[in-house]
Amino acid sequence: MPPLRERLERLRNEFLEYIENNFEKVSANIPVFYGYVISSLDQFSAEIGDEEYDRFIEAITIKLLERSQDHAETGFVERVCSNAIRTRKNTKTGIGIHLPAGISLLKRGDFKGATSYFAPYAEADGVVGVLLAYCYYMLSLREIAEKKATVGARPGDMELMAREQMLRIARGNPPIDRLPELQLIDQQMISRAFWLMISCALDWFPSEKRFLSIGLEKAKKDSNRGMINELLKIAVERFFDDMVFLRESFLARLQEQDAIGAAGVVRQMMQQHPEEIEPIYYGLLLSVLSAKQPGYDTFRRMATQKGMPGEVVLLMDLALAVAKRDQTEIGLALRAMRREYPDLQPYTLLLEYIAQDVFSAEEERKKRARKFLLDSVDRFCVNLIQERKEREG
């Protein structure tokens, strides 16, 4: 007999295909359909847990809601939800049903109906909160169209509700895109709604940094390089002295291998925060990654003058030697670490072991060793600098 997961997957696919090909028949008698689902799942009752059972029901429901996009009957979504929730083992929460239902209503233009499905979860995840704000905003546009209001007129009630909801997200600071149920529904629709509302919030509340942070968090999770760059451009222009945004901008430039752009951010950091050592560290790091000794020497002198932790300086000496593939300097840096910081002996031994592979005859092994060592040193140094910053308050 095939494994349980394989049998469940086959049954789920059979139901999905049946919905696709027989939607009118299913929609005509939803309770009967869900009864059929329950009876089919009974054969697995001794093998699957409640959570897996409920995931199966949710997958079937999502397909049913997606297939119903052109269905004109306004009560259809509500009937599907009520039957699906009764079918679940855990009837106390309906988030895996309600969020897809909200998206379904949103896509068919029933923004008012969608709000009732998003509102209970708006504080649990910032993305759901943004979807709720999007519904209010779309209702406000409809309101404007119906009243034939002029451009620039006082915001109506629905737009004010959208603005208040966005402020509630900024002040409440809920997690962003953490609910697993969000991953099961239309990501393109979520993305369109999310970025429209972030754009609106940046216009409505230009001095509120939190909307840029929310956007950056979402863009990084989605690996959306275009939005990361756009948000950082706005952030660094509006909040030119904010070290969080400057740091994000520097790291983004590094990721894109834009050495000139990264150097420009370092200069801006040093202009805005001349007493801090963090910008100097980034100058050292940039010099290491480009393996430029003159630039490194300049930043090293500055690091010493500013009182940068000695272990950071020596570790960066090691990183530069690795970047230059200079075996003699690597040995000197490791010996200096052992002599000056015996408490770090376990870490120094690890670096010494990894450094041996920097000169391996195998090209792939050599690349992995170099990357691992440089990444490890960077994380270690950043943590040391951050700890010092926190101590000094």
Tens of pLDDT along 336-351? Answer: 999 999 999 999 999 9
Give the per-residue pLDDT at 32.
Answer: 95
CA distance 351 to 330: 10
Mean of the per-residue pLDDT values of the chain: 92
The closest of 244, 265, 281 to 379, measured between CA atoms, is 281
Give the per-residue pLDDT at 71.
Answer: 58
Give the per-residue pLDDT at 148.
Answer: 65
What is the model's pTM? 0.87
Give the per-residue pLDDT at 153.
Answer: 65
Three-state secondary structure of the chain: CCCHHHHHHHHHHHHHHHHHHCHHHHHHCHHHHHHHHHHHHHHHCCCCCHHHHHHHHHHHHHHHHHHCCCCCCCCHHHHHHHHHHHHCCCCCCCHHHHHHHHHHHHHCCCHHHHHHHHHHHCCCCHHHHHHHHHHHHHHHHHHHHHHCCCCCCCCCHHHHHHHHHHHHHHHHCCCCCCCHHHHHCCHHHHHHHHHHHHHHHHHHCCCCCHHHHHHHHHHHHCCCHHHHHHHHHHHHHHCCCCHHHHHHHHHHHHHCCCHHHHHHHHHHHHHHCCCCCHHHHHHHHHHHHHCCHHHHHHHHHHHHHCCCCHHHHHHHHHHHHHHHCCHHHHHHHHHHHHHHCHHHHHHHHHHHHHHHHHHCCCHHHHHHHHHHHHHHHHHHHHHHHHHHHHHHC
Give the per-residue pLDDT at 67.
Answer: 87
Give the per-residue pLDDT at 73.
Answer: 61
pLDDT beneath 50: ranges in the chain: none
